[in-house]
Amino acid sequence: MSDNGTIEKEEIFSKVLRAGRRTYFFDVRATKANDYYLTITESKKFTNEDGSFHYKKHKIYLYKEDFAGFNEILQEMTDYILDEKGEEVISERHQKNFKKEYEEDEKPKAEATATPSAAAFTDISFDDI
Protein backbone atom coordinates (compact mmCIF):
# COMPACT_ATOMS: atom_id res chain seq x y z
CA MET A 1 0.00 0.00 0.00
CA SER A 2 1.14 3.54 -0.64
CA ASP A 3 1.10 6.38 1.89
CA ASN A 4 -2.36 7.59 0.83
CA GLY A 5 -4.03 4.19 1.41
CA THR A 6 -4.36 3.09 -2.22
CA ILE A 7 -3.01 -0.19 -3.47
CA GLU A 8 -0.08 0.24 -5.86
CA LYS A 9 -0.59 -1.75 -9.08
CA GLU A 10 2.50 -3.76 -9.90
CA GLU A 11 4.02 -3.34 -13.32
CA ILE A 12 4.29 -6.66 -15.12
CA PHE A 13 6.35 -5.45 -18.06
CA SER A 14 7.67 -1.94 -18.82
CA LYS A 15 9.47 -0.04 -21.56
CA VAL A 16 10.66 3.57 -21.67
CA LEU A 17 11.05 5.84 -24.70
CA ARG A 18 13.05 9.01 -24.07
CA ALA A 19 12.29 11.71 -26.64
CA GLY A 20 13.91 15.06 -25.82
CA ARG A 21 11.96 16.78 -23.05
CA ARG A 22 9.32 14.06 -23.20
CA THR A 23 9.51 10.54 -21.83
CA TYR A 24 6.96 7.86 -22.67
CA PHE A 25 6.36 4.98 -20.28
CA PHE A 26 4.63 1.82 -21.54
CA ASP A 27 3.53 -0.36 -18.63
CA VAL A 28 1.62 -3.64 -18.59
CA ARG A 29 -0.41 -3.85 -15.39
CA ALA A 30 -2.88 -6.30 -13.90
CA THR A 31 -6.53 -5.72 -13.00
CA LYS A 32 -8.05 -7.06 -9.77
CA ALA A 33 -9.17 -10.08 -11.81
CA ASN A 34 -5.52 -10.54 -12.87
CA ASP A 35 -6.17 -9.61 -16.52
CA TYR A 36 -3.63 -7.35 -18.21
CA TYR A 37 -4.00 -3.84 -19.60
CA LEU A 38 -1.60 -1.20 -20.90
CA THR A 39 -0.89 2.27 -19.56
CA ILE A 40 0.93 4.81 -21.69
CA THR A 41 2.24 7.80 -19.76
CA GLU A 42 3.72 10.93 -21.31
CA SER A 43 5.93 12.84 -18.90
CA LYS A 44 7.18 16.28 -19.96
CA LYS A 45 9.79 18.28 -18.07
CA PHE A 46 9.20 22.00 -17.46
CA THR A 47 11.70 24.45 -15.98
CA ASN A 48 10.50 27.14 -13.56
CA GLU A 49 11.87 30.68 -13.58
CA ASP A 50 13.92 29.93 -10.45
CA GLY A 51 15.70 27.05 -12.20
CA SER A 52 13.78 24.30 -10.49
CA PHE A 53 11.73 21.93 -12.61
CA HIS A 54 8.54 19.92 -12.55
CA TYR A 55 6.90 17.26 -14.69
CA LYS A 56 3.45 17.17 -16.23
CA LYS A 57 2.09 13.70 -16.85
CA HIS A 58 -0.72 12.44 -19.05
CA LYS A 59 -1.84 8.83 -18.91
CA ILE A 60 -3.87 6.59 -21.24
CA TYR A 61 -5.35 3.30 -20.07
CA LEU A 62 -5.75 0.81 -22.89
CA TYR A 63 -7.64 -2.44 -22.40
CA LYS A 64 -7.41 -5.62 -24.51
CA GLU A 65 -10.84 -5.16 -26.08
CA ASP A 66 -9.62 -1.87 -27.58
CA PHE A 67 -6.22 -3.05 -28.88
CA ALA A 68 -7.30 -3.91 -32.44
CA GLY A 69 -9.13 -0.62 -33.03
CA PHE A 70 -6.41 1.41 -31.36
CA ASN A 71 -3.65 -0.28 -33.40
CA GLU A 72 -5.61 0.15 -36.64
CA ILE A 73 -6.20 3.87 -36.15
CA LEU A 74 -2.68 4.50 -34.82
CA GLN A 75 -1.20 2.79 -37.90
CA GLU A 76 -3.52 4.73 -40.22
CA MET A 77 -2.60 8.04 -38.61
CA THR A 78 1.15 7.42 -38.56
CA ASP A 79 1.06 6.24 -42.19
CA TYR A 80 -0.86 9.38 -43.16
CA ILE A 81 1.64 11.69 -41.44
CA LEU A 82 4.64 9.94 -42.99
CA ASP A 83 2.99 9.91 -46.45
CA GLU A 84 2.09 13.61 -46.24
CA LYS A 85 5.20 15.00 -44.50
CA GLY A 86 7.89 12.33 -44.80
CA GLU A 87 10.19 11.18 -42.03
CA GLU A 88 12.21 14.40 -41.80
CA VAL A 89 11.94 15.98 -38.36
CA ILE A 90 11.03 19.64 -38.67
CA SER A 91 11.09 20.61 -34.98
CA GLU A 92 13.79 23.18 -35.70
CA ARG A 93 11.02 25.31 -37.22
CA HIS A 94 9.98 26.09 -33.65
CA GLN A 95 13.33 27.73 -32.96
CA LYS A 96 13.36 31.53 -32.88
CA ASN A 97 15.94 31.93 -35.67
CA PHE A 98 14.31 29.47 -38.12
CA LYS A 99 13.70 30.85 -41.64
CA LYS A 100 11.49 29.12 -44.13
CA GLU A 101 13.20 28.02 -47.36
CA TYR A 102 11.16 30.38 -49.50
CA GLU A 103 12.07 33.31 -47.21
CA GLU A 104 15.75 32.60 -47.77
CA ASP A 105 15.22 32.25 -51.55
CA GLU A 106 13.26 35.50 -51.81
CA LYS A 107 15.57 37.59 -49.63
CA PRO A 108 17.81 38.80 -52.48
CA LYS A 109 14.73 39.67 -54.57
CA ALA A 110 13.19 41.70 -51.76
CA GLU A 111 16.42 43.60 -51.19
CA ALA A 112 16.72 44.35 -54.92
CA THR A 113 13.36 46.16 -55.07
CA ALA A 114 12.79 48.96 -52.63
CA THR A 115 9.04 49.27 -53.28
CA PRO A 116 6.67 46.46 -52.32
CA SER A 117 5.10 44.53 -55.16
CA ALA A 118 1.38 44.63 -55.88
CA ALA A 119 1.17 41.01 -54.73
CA ALA A 120 2.08 42.15 -51.21
CA PHE A 121 -1.22 44.06 -50.89
CA THR A 122 -4.71 42.68 -50.42
CA ASP A 123 -7.77 44.25 -52.00
CA ILE A 124 -10.30 45.01 -49.26
CA SER A 125 -13.89 46.09 -49.84
CA PHE A 126 -15.27 48.16 -46.98
CA ASP A 127 -18.83 47.79 -48.30
CA ASP A 128 -19.14 44.53 -46.38
CA ILE A 129 -18.32 46.13 -43.02
Mean pLDDT of 29-54: 92
**Residue at 29 is within a domain:** yes
Cα gap 10→34, rounded to integer Å: 11
**Residue at 129 is within a domain:** no
**Residue at 125 is within a domain:** no
**Residue at 37 is within a domain:** yes
Q: How confident is the model at residue 88 (pLDDT cuts 50, 70, 90)?
A: confident
C-beta of residue 27 within 8 angstroms of C-beta of residue 49 = no
**Residue at 97 is within a domain:** yes
In the chain the first and final C-alpha atoms are separated, in Å, by 66
Asked if pLDDT for residue 124 goes beyond 90, the answer is no
**Residue at 34 is within a domain:** yes
Domain tally, the chain: 1
Asked if pLDDT for residue 78 goes beyond 90, the answer is yes
Mean pLDDT of 116-122: 48
Least confident of 24-38, 85-99, 115-129: 115-129
**Residue at 83 is within a domain:** yes
**Residue at 54 is within a domain:** yes
| Structural domain containing residue 50 | 11-112
Asked if pLDDT for residue 74 goes beyond 80, the answer is yes
